[in-house]
Structure 1
Amino acid sequence: MFWNFRRIRKCQCVQLVMTCFVLSVLMVCWEQLDHHVVSHMKSYSYRYLVNSYDFINKSFGISQREAKSQSNFPYLINHHDKCDSNEVLLLLFVKSSPENLERRQAIRATWGNESYTQRELGATVRVVFALGVHPNPQQRGRVQRGLLGEDQVYGDLVQQDFVDTFHNLTIKLLLQFRWSHNYCSQARFLMSADDDIFVHMPNLVHYLQGLIRQGARDLWVGHVHRGAPPNRRKDSKYHVPYEMYQWPSYPDYTAGAGYVVSGDVASKIYQATLSLNASLYIDDVFMGICANAMGVSPQEHVYFSGEGKAPYHPCIYDKMITSHGHVADVRYLWKAATDPQIHDISSGLLGKMYCTAVKVMLLCKPYYLNTYPCKAAFS
């Protein structure tokens, strides 16, 4: 009896110590746990059980006068006649920072080369770099003179007089859709892309031409985030306070690194921006709010990457549309991905089987996130 009593007391002590240890870990790691587990459980529960965001539209609704004042910045550089052709397949807005000259040069020499697209692909694509002004007042004058000189050579910058920072990306989104409405409304498609993204222009053009043959409308395509929760961590640049967004889940949206909308959707988004508060500085989420207000839903395309970089392999290049996180390697990747021999590797039964096996090994990994999903290996 005495031995059993001591054994019970020992078990109780062990349980007590373990409970204290678990509670201590929870207290220390609660912020991480809340962000990675609790907030996602709340957001997914809301997204898949309730899935109604009408109240957000009402909460963000403002008058047209207020909405216009949010983006009423004068143009410092503009090109009214950029879309001089009646047949513009794609208006491609690249979100760039004033100091990122080397990135813009790499894009002009590769996937953003309008002459290449016209000559080799038979498609009219207009590429525009969207900019604000340099955030450092001491450097602003020097950088601005450089931008004016750059634009005299290339004629592809559109700049408004707002400070170009992460927290003004929504203003840049407004610039894109309002400029498109005013100066390039005939474009069949509009694309928004970061300046550290790679676009496989031949694959994208062929994809868009196929959509035209299908008569596609209400198109908003990219890497879709569904049921994403607001980030409440104050040390994150994506932090969104409760005062700005009170709900547990965002409407569905595509990753801002690169997405495409059809011309009719571009017009709807423009109309939405005329009545919604653009104070939410996460621009791709605000895009989701605008689209939700107009009854437009995003569509997943497995070869639009999210925030991640696609693997380097010819079997990937054959279907690639976008890949994120490319700066120094853009020219190399352009040469490799557009090599005419790429299609030979995946042609025929054996080629398809080989590339499927390669893509399974490259994409079907539990830790491989924010780029092409595993199902891309079988598409």
Structure 2
Amino acid sequence: MFVNFRRINKRQCVQLMTTCLVLSLVMLCWEQLDNRVVSHVKSYSYRYLSNRFVYVNRSLTISRQQARVFSDFRYLLDHPDKCAGQDVLLLLLVKTSPENIERRNAIRSTWGNETYIQNHLGVTVKVLFVLGAPPTKEEEPSWSKRSGVGFQEHLADEDRLHGDMIQQDFLDSFHNLTLKLILQFHWTHRCCAHARFLMTADDDVFVHMPNLVSYLQDAKSKGVTDFWIGRVHRGAPPIRRKDSKYYVSFEMYQWLSYPDYTAGAGYVVSGDVADKIYQAMLTLNASLYIDDVFMGICANAVGVSPQEHIFFSGEGKAPYHQCIYDQMMTSHGHVEDIYDLWEAATSPRVKQRTSGLVGRLYCTAVKTYLLCRPYNFNTYPCKAAYS
């Protein structure tokens, strides 16, 4: 069959070119698209048709003696009396890396300032930074080498100044994040089991502490149990692409879907859930280095399910606006802007401008525009505009 190009008019020519362009793009992206679509179809089929996470629990269950290899590390920095004799509403554990000194100082000066929280919000919140051991001498930052003082000595000096760091002697790295998660729950069980709530967060997360404290005080007054809130991932499949940071081999996790879990950037559990997770960790294989997924596995093993909170962000950064600040809980990806955001988000002007009928209608319109656009990913969902 031959095409007579002389009979093709301008409109047909445009259609032909457009078709060729679309086909080219589909061919270029097909492999990635196919893998993503197929993996999610398999994941949801496994979750909703088979729903056999009991096999996951059985396959990962090991003896207590075997599980100790994931927690039996020596403490380099510790504060076992941090919560002693105090009515702690929230124990907030911030996952950090040894080199992130400026991030820790920014948190100490803003949303993680215990004195501010006690004096202005009237509750006791304990903030601790959780980290592993620094790199070897050859991998130390240049400033540490020039000082002639080892990196660990710098960390010890920082801790003597602030008294808010807990550290074990496993290497601080991405592939040891699950060890850092286990450290948090083991330390909580040992030193602060009476805290009403436990929160774990990254050191580039912004926490709107006044909003969070108000929310948790309300939850406490209702006597909530089995409480686990955050940005929930449901039916997520393991990533099998070896070029991905989150690649998980079949040997490490053979199943088609992960149990439900919350984004590791920041989530909150009640004290009873923290204890259940600790108990689960005593008999589970923690070789899976994606810490938020391992948290989901532990929770599934003890019958706890996460609850979605629309103002906990996932991997995304919330829009900058007073109408967002009014209900914000967490926002991810803040480093240089944390001081300005803290000042803006906690300003009395926020409540003044977002209250009343006019303020609520205005904020609904603003949040609809900010949150309901098609390319708004990993931050608050569109339905948050109407809450």
Equivalent residue for 1:292?
Answer: 300
* 2:219 counterpart letter in structure 1: L
Equivalent residue for 1:11?
Answer: none
1:310–1:177 CA distance, 2 compared to 1 (3 A) = same
Equivalent residue for 2:204?
Answer: 196
Equivalent residue for 2:71?
Answer: 71
Q: Deviation of residue 43 (structure 1)?
A: 1.1
1:244–1:25 CA distance, 2 compared to 1 (3 A) = farther
Question: What is the DSSP-based 3-state SS (H/G/I as helix, E as strand, rest coil) of the residue aligned with 1:344?
Answer: helix
Q: Deviation of residue 51 (structure 1)?
A: 2.8
Equivalent residue for 1:180?
Answer: 188
* 1:210 counterpart letter in structure 2: D
Equivalent residue for 1:15?
Answer: none
Q: Is the 8 A contact 1:31 1:233 kept in 2?
A: no
Equivalent residue for 2:230?
Answer: 222
> How far apart in 2 are the matches of 1:139 and 1:69?
26
Deviation by residue 1:149-170 (Cα, 9 ceiling, x = unmatched): 0001000000000000000000
* 1:126 counterpart letter in structure 2: K
> How far apart in 1 are the matches of 2:26 and 2:250?
23
* 1:288 counterpart letter in structure 2: G
Question: What is the DSSP-based 3-state SS (H/G/I as helix, E as strand, rest coil) of the residue aligned with 2:150?
Answer: helix
> How far apart in 1 are the matches of 2:197 and 2:265?
17
Q: Deviation of residue 24 (structure 1)?
A: 9.0
1:152–1:351 CA distance, 2 compared to 1 (3 A) = same
* 1:69 counterpart letter in structure 2: V
2:219 aligned residue (196, 211, 225): 211
* 1:336 counterpart letter in structure 2: A
Equivalent residue for 1:52?
Answer: 52
* 1:365 counterpart letter in structure 2: R
1:342–1:80 CA distance, 2 compared to 1 (3 A) = same
Question: What is the DSSP-based 3-state SS (H/G/I as helix, E as strand, rest coil) of the residue aligned with 1:89?
Answer: strand
Equivalent residue for 1:249?
Answer: 257
State whether structure 2 residue 145 is matched by structure 1 residue 170: no
Q: Is the 8 A contact 1:93 1:193 kept in 2?
A: yes
Equivalent residue for 1:272?
Answer: 280
* 1:144 counterpart letter in structure 2: Q
Deviation by residue 1:337-364 (Cα, 9 ceiling, x = unmatched): 0001101111111110000000000000
State whether structure 2 residue 116 is matched by structure 1 residue 116: yes
> How far apart in 2 are the matches of 1:336 and 1:6?
67
Runs of 4+ residues deviating >6 angstroms: 21-27
* 1:108 counterpart letter in structure 2: R
* 1:253 counterpart letter in structure 2: Y
> How far apart in 2 are the matches of 1:179 and 1:34?
43
TM-score, normalised by the number of residues in structure 1: 0.92
> How far apart in 2 are the matches of 1:99 and 1:34?
39
> How far apart in 2 are the matches of 1:250 and 1:237?
17
> How far apart in 2 are the matches of 1:298 and 1:263?
14
Equivalent residue for 1:148?
Answer: 156
> How far apart in 2 are the matches of 1:31 and 1:291?
34
* 1:61 counterpart letter in structure 2: T
State whether structure 2 residue 358 is matched by structure 1 residue 350: yes
Q: Which runs of 5+ in 2 are unaligned?
A: 4-20, 141-148
> How far apart in 1 are the matches of 2:232 and 2:2?
58
Q: Deviation of residue 171 (structure 1)?
A: 0.1
Over aligned residue pairs, what C-alpha RMSD do you find? 2.0
Q: Is the 8 A contact 1:83 1:184 kept in 2?
A: yes
Bigger CA drift: 363-372 or 324-333? 363-372
Question: What is the DSSP-based 3-state SS (H/G/I as helix, E as strand, rest coil) of the residue aligned with 1:90?
Answer: strand
- Within a 5 Å distance, the mapping from 1:75-90 to structure 2 comes to 75-90=75-90
Q: Is the 8 A contact 1:35 1:232 kept in 2?
A: no
Deviation by residue 1:262-292 (Cα, 9 ceiling, x = unmatched): 0000000000000000000000000000000
> How far apart in 1 are the matches of 2:107 and 2:2?
75
Aligned length: 365
Q: Deviation of residue 40 (structure 1)?
A: 1.3
Q: Deviation of residue 30 (structure 1)?
A: 5.0
1:189–1:296 CA distance, 2 compared to 1 (3 A) = same
Question: What is the DSSP-based 3-state SS (H/G/I as helix, E as strand, rest coil) of the residue aligned with 1:323?
Answer: strand
1:130–1:350 CA distance, 2 compared to 1 (3 A) = same
* 1:239 counterpart letter in structure 2: Y
Equivalent residue for 2:145?
Answer: none
Equivalent residue for 2:325?
Answer: 317
> How far apart in 2 are the matches of 1:197 and 1:6?
61
> How far apart in 1 are the matches of 2:127 and 2:89?
11
TM-score, normalised by the number of residues in structure 2: 0.90
Q: Deviation of residue 142 (structure 1)?
A: 2.2
Q: Deviation of residue 6 (structure 1)?
A: 7.3
Question: What is the DSSP-based 3-state SS (H/G/I as helix, E as strand, rest coil) of the residue aligned with 1:94?
Answer: strand
Question: What is the DSSP-based 3-state SS (H/G/I as helix, E as strand, rest coil) of the residue aligned with 2:320?
Answer: coil
Equivalent residue for 1:334?
Answer: 342
* 1:73 counterpart letter in structure 2: F
Q: Which runs of 5+ in 1 are unaligned?
A: 8-20
State whether structure 2 residue 266 is matched by structure 1 residue 258: yes
